[in-house]
Chains A and B, each alone.
Chain A
Amino acid sequence: MTAGVDAADGVDAADGVAGVDGVDGVDGVAGVDGLVVVRPGPLTTVQDLGRRGVAHLGVPRAGAVDEPALRAANRLLGNEPGAAALETTLGGVALRALRPLLVAVTGAPCPVRVDGRPAAWGAPVPVPAGSVLDVGAATAGVRAYLAVAGGIAVPPVLGSRSADLLSGLGPAPLSAGDRLPVGPRPPRRATPELVPLPAPPGELVLRLRPGPRADWFAPDALARLARDTYRVSPAANRIALRTEGPPLVRARDGELPSEGMVLGAVQVPPDGLPVVFLADHPTTGGYPVVGVVPVADLAAAAQARPGTPLRFTVLPG
């Protein structure tokens, strides 16, 4: 961190120290910097519940890939369920608080430290002005969610603060030195209970509802899909969970005319390996969709590391 940024931190921190009431007054103005990025980690993005009602313009939905974890982090702080938070990827993130903040980390289990001292995961953690909050590398799973009371208050784009890595909408992934505005702290509520969070899976099991293009595959393709074991590919990202395993056999060649795609769609490109669409999936596509994974199963998909064994169970069509 540069001396200049430190000096700026000092000023903001001094404002924070001047009085919590005064800070609350300032909080009422949208876009007051609350955090500065010390270590961005491999890929850290701002995410909320994503964009709705704009798919017909070619705009992906984006939003947290592990949505229950985002909601849990917000619940711990009394935030609105869809308040924007930070989504980390494997390596965590570190930020300096520019004023006193309350934060919570959920999703992938990971060490949480404030100025080097261990702090709670999955519970509200106060961070004094000037302190460094360090979210360490995930000990399991992929994506941790760091929520701040008041939410990350970057300007919304098309109704959402989410970074969309397919089309580049919303804030860019964090870089060192970035300053993040934090919204006004929500009214205090009774201390929430610890939120139960599912452990990241050692084996990923995804249910699959066949269609709309199951008829593009060999008659036994679904039965084989249910019998075979796949692995999560290292190429998995926010757009899609890619897989490695036996290719699905097509009953017909070629591409479909482009058609609309949904979250959880299992698209099968020419290499025959199923691709499960996640938050940043394209709105239309031309490869046939053999089936759709229910949204309830996608949080586990979001936390499955490359190499995790993957099985599909086929629901009645």
Chain B
Amino acid sequence: MTAGGAAGGTDDRAGDPAGEGPGPVLRPVGERALLVELPDAAEVTALYGWLRERQSTGELPPVEEIVPAAHTVLLDGVADVPALARLLRTARPDRATTAAGPLVEVPTVYDGADLAEVAARWGVPPEEAVRIHTAPEYVVAFCGFAPGFGYLTGLPARYEVPRRATPRSAVPAGSVALAGPYTGVYPRSSPGGWQLLGRTALPLWDTARTPAALLAPGTRVRFTPVRAGSR
């Protein structure tokens, strides 16, 4: 690999002079981007927070985009790939010290079309499924699929559910839904295959508002049950 050497190799496990265990795997993506591979979503959130902190203090070499995803963080529009790779080799984001994101409360009417089916998969009555879903504090691991659509982690792994075998052609805006390890809230009406638990009246995406996205990576989220008609 010649793209700066420092980012070299398609499987360049970064050096570890401090002996703190292996650093992240860096994969070059074209000539101006680096993909950082991490073991899990929590590490992604920690590195993402670490990078944004350094960006805000001017300690990060210029990058246009920092895009977290399931097990990776993509840095795109990188002016100096080798310098960034060197920084990433020494990155030791600490989950405990990375500043927590803002907390957003999502009032949710739990009357989704798939609530009974999800409860049955979990082997509990629907009201207990609501309690299970409202118990954790979630974090937006990453966004994708549509502007402002956050993939929220926080539900224990034993509650994972598959996508619906047949996606719906239109899922209403504000739908609170589950698929795989994630909870999501549809920012606007779109086709979708996630299991619908309920809905919120909270506007998640509004380009006239700053910030446009209520749920950005790192944002913490709590779902609170409300009755239909209340807000």
Contact = CB atoms under 8 A, between A and B. Distances in A.
**A-B interaction:** yes
Interface of A: 52-53, 55-59, 157-158, 167, 169, 209-212, 214-215, 257-262, 264-265, 282-284, 289, 292-295, 316-317
Contact of B30 (A55, A294, A316): A294
B213 interface: yes
Q: Taking each of A209, A293, A294, which has the highest tally of chain B beta carbons within 10 Å of its own beta carbon?
A: A209
10 contacts: A56-B216, A58-B146, A167-B146, A167-B147, A209-B31, A258-B70, A260-B73, A260-B74, A262-B33, A295-B32
Contacts of A292: 29-31, 33
Interface residues on B, range: 35 or more
A121 to B, nearest CB: 32
A285 to B, nearest CB: 8
A160 B31 CA distance: 25
A56 B67 contact: yes
Nearest to A164: B147
Interface string B109-121: 0000000000000
Contacts of B10: 210-212, 214-215, 317
B30 A283 contact: no
Given A58-B149, A167-B146, A265-B29, A259 B64 contact: no
Nearest to B212: A158
B207 A158 contact: yes
A158 B209 CA distance: 10
Contact of A262 (B68, B74, B144): B74
A55 B72 contact: no
A259 B149 contact: no
Given A56-B68, A58-B149, A215-B10, A258 B144 contact: yes
Given A211-B27, A283-B143, A56 B65 contact: yes
B207 A284 contact: no
Given A56-B65, A262-B33, 18 more contacts: A56-B66, A56-B67, A56-B142, A56-B217, A58-B213, A157-B207, A257-B70, A258-B69, A259-B35, A259-B69, A259-B72, A260-B35, A260-B73, A260-B76, A265-B29, A284-B67, A289-B29, A316-B2
Contacts of B29: 211-212, 262, 265, 289, 292
A274 to B, nearest CB: 15
A91 B45 CA distance: 46
B148 A259 contact: no
B28 interface: yes
Interface in B213-229: 213, 216-217
A214 B28 CA distance: 11
B28 A212 contact: yes
B76 A55 contact: yes
B194 to A, nearest CB: 14
Interface string B3-44: 100000011000000000000000111111101000000000
A284 B69 contact: yes
B77 interface: yes
A44 B222 CA distance: 43
A211 B3 CA distance: 12
Contacts of A259: 35, 69-72, 74
Interface in B48-106: 48, 64-74, 76-77
A58 B74 contact: no
A87 to B, nearest CB: 21
Contact of B143 (A53, A57, A157, A264): A57
A209 B3 contact: yes
Which of B65, B66, B72, B212 lies at the interface centre, i.e. has the most chain A CB atoms within 10 A of its CB? B65
Contact of B67 (A55, A265, A293, A295): A55
A295 B3 CA distance: 15
B157 interface: no
B150 to A, nearest CB: 8
> Among B72, B143, B144, B145, which residue has the most Cβ atoms of chain A within 10 A?
B144
